[in-house]
Structure 1
């Protein structure tokens, strides 16, 4: 789950969140999901709030893309209600103790959320647990070492968030610590780190 202060903030702004959240670019998510060595039929949007990532990866329109099922797990009830109102399956839960079975999803997406989690290591370990062999974790985050990243860190501190931002290499190391094979797919203010769960053939 998010830190307690972060959850309370998202509870309060849930009705307005999608209006002011940055537009979700599905391309980095699709690129990451395409690295799975198995069909991606079920995706977990971890700490996904109103389901921005879930809607991005299930939207039609990409040639050759067969839209998977997606479920959002988040700690904020009001955010999840917004996800459900938009037709996305939503489950309230703690990112560090996911209410999902082992090996129950083909991919996990964490969009702009890892920095809010009080125990990102536990969340990444849980992502690895629920992934099926040859599935992928796709983390989309912001680099605090960039100019825009430093501004974002300052803005989140002003709001009162207890955020912990990591650069791409530190994020890749954390993904490796969770037992996944990491790679940095792109860098910049926004970056994407992939974690692949190696399967037994």
Structure 2
């Protein structure tokens, strides 16, 4: 039976605990990979060059914005140490309560984050709070609740989004979608996912070695180039989508 989302009785505190446990272990055994190694780099570099004040939320050790000159906020102390060593300004915090001033960034990046929190409206409100009017906002989310697998729950996901749902939530917080790119396809092998989950559960150290030394380098080598499309394109069969928005807050009513 396919589940549309994880157990909705889980609180943000439960999700923080699950995510901290999984990702602290992951980042403790991982190496920092610079943003230029990812297929997001041609897109994010262009945005970063036009934005002197930049924030990336929860990048772990896979930042997509330039290390120098970017503020990073993450829960993982292992990730924070390595980000700082790489030249980043890294601060401990979480998306629901960002340790940043209002309207302080021209570019805000939060990839693979919204699906991890129970209160995604609160998270979007925080991103809107720290974004300056006219700021670019780069997000990514998994799509299609019917594509839910046990692996979603294992890695701390709370939901997958219907395309219309994520657009409505973004618009409610002042984020205007400008462009999107196909960021992933639905995995073709449920057996492979189950095998990976088993190893991560029962032989985590060995699984982390294979992930960091073998699968991650192979994945980087075979990344497909990303291409922007106006608005939200055809999402049939798309596992994850990358979104570029502009923050346009509602005009305050005149008195």
Q: TM-score range by the shorter chain?
A: 0.7 to 0.9
Is the contact made by 1:5 and 1:162 (CA closer than 8 Å) also made in structure 2?
Answer: no
Is residue 28 of structure 2 the alignment partner of residue 33 of structure 1? no
TM-score relative to the length of structure 2? 0.59
Larger Rg: 2
Shift of 1:98: 0.9
Shift of 1:189: 2.8
Residues 39, 183 of structure 1: alpha-carbon distance in 2 compared, 3 angstrom cutoff: closer
Is the contact made by 1:168 and 1:192 (CA closer than 8 Å) also made in structure 2?
Answer: no
Q: Residues 91-130 of structure 1, C-alpha deviation per residue, up to 9 Å, x if partnerless?
A: 0012111111111110111112221123221111111111
Structure 2 CA distance for aligned equivalents of residues 184 and 173 of structure 1: 15
Alignment equivalent of 2:175, drawn from 171, 180, 197: 180
Is the contact made by 2:174 and 2:248 (CA closer than 8 Å) also made in structure 1?
Answer: no
2:57 alignment partner in structure 1: 46
Shift of 1:134: 1.0
Is residue 164 of structure 2 the alignment partner of residue 169 of structure 1? yes
Alignment equivalent of 1:24, drawn from 33, 38, 43: 38
1:143 alignment partner in structure 2: 143
Residues 70, 169 of structure 1: alpha-carbon distance in 2 compared, 3 angstrom cutoff: farther
Q: Residues 16-51 of structure 1, C-alpha deviation per residue, up to 9 Å, x if partnerless?
A: 34589xx632257438838xxx94112111122225
Is residue 166 of structure 2 the alignment partner of residue 155 of structure 1? no
Structure 1 CA distance for aligned equivalents of residues 171 and 46 of structure 2: 16
TM-score relative to the length of structure 1? 0.73
Shift of 1:6: 0.9
Is the contact made by 2:32 and 2:82 (CA closer than 8 Å) also made in structure 1?
Answer: no
Structure 1 CA distance for aligned equivalents of residues 92 and 32 of structure 2: 22
Is the contact made by 1:168 and 1:193 (CA closer than 8 Å) also made in structure 2?
Answer: no
1:194 alignment partner in structure 2: 244
Structure 1 CA distance for aligned equivalents of residues 45 and 80 of structure 2: 26
Residues 145, 198 of structure 1: alpha-carbon distance in 2 compared, 3 angstrom cutoff: same
- Listed as ranges, the matches of 1:33-182 within 5 Å are 33=47, 39-54=50-65, 58=66, 69-144=69-144, 150=147, 153-157=149-153, 159=154, 161-182=156-177
Structure 1 CA distance for aligned equivalents of residues 22 and 157 of structure 2: 11
